[in-house]
Amino acid sequence: MRQFARASPADAVRADSMREPGSGTVDRLATIVLDRLGTVRYCHDEAADLFGSPALSLIGKHIKALIPDLPFNARTPGYNVAYAAFWAPDGPRQRYCGVDSLGRSFDLQIALESLELEKKQQIVLNLRRAL
């Protein structure tokens, strides 16, 4: 089972002040879990590092605020889930452009997966900086 770190808001602010936006490394697990609408529900610390924000500050944001070109729309939850479900789980990662907390763009590689979590359909994004 994947572990998602939880920190107090004070710890998150302290960590954020020492973090360089986009400093996540390519070889570490960076996972974000979305609901059907594309809203961030869980965020691994390594994923937060990629975007230069504490994980708690990303919870509740729509994924398009972080990855504008990802074809998810809050008005089409069925399409969002289908897009993730039909993504080849062992296929190549797709390239997208992420936007960090300072508004700077950076290249990402993304793999998607649709799964049931907490009795609801969820979308898992596994991220890494593009080489």
Distance of alpha carbon 100 from the chain centroid? 12
Establish if 3 belongs to a structural domain: no
For 67-76, the pLDDT digits (tens) are: 999 999 999 9
Query: 36-40, 41-45, 60-64, 127-131 — which is least confidently predicted?
Result: 127-131
Residue 26 has pLDDT above 60, yes or no: no
Establish if 20 belongs to a structural domain: yes
Q: Which residues pair with 126 in a beta bridge?
A: 31, 111
User: Residue 51 has what pLDDT?
Assistant: 96
User: Residue 92 has what pLDDT?
Assistant: 65
Establish if 96 belongs to a structural domain: yes
Side-chain half-sphere exposure of 124, counting CA atoms within 13 A: 14
Percentage of the chain with pLDDT > 70?
Answer: 74
Residue 34: strand, helix, or coil: strand
Establish if 2 belongs to a structural domain: no
For 47-106, the pLDDT digits (tens) are: 999 999 999 999 999 999 999 999 999 999 998 888 888 876 556 678 899 999 999 999
Establish if 4 belongs to a structural domain: no
- pTM beyond cutoff 0.95: no
Which CA distances in Å does 39 have to 11, 28, 58?
23, 23, 9
Percentage of the chain with pLDDT > 90?
Answer: 50
Phi, psi of 117, rounded to the nearest 5 degrees: -140, 130
The first and second tokens of residue 98, run together, are 């992420």
Establish if 72 belongs to a structural domain: yes
What integer best gives the mean pLDDT of the chain? 80
Q: What is the maximal distance between C-alpha atoms in the chain?
A: 40
User: Residue 59 has what pLDDT?
Assistant: 97
CATH code of the domain in which 30 resides: 3.30.450.20
Range of the domain at 39: 9-129
Region 117-128: mean pLDDT is: 88
Q: How many domains does the chain have?
A: 1
Residue 39: strand, helix, or coil: strand
Establish if 1 belongs to a structural domain: no
* DSSP conformational letter for 107: E
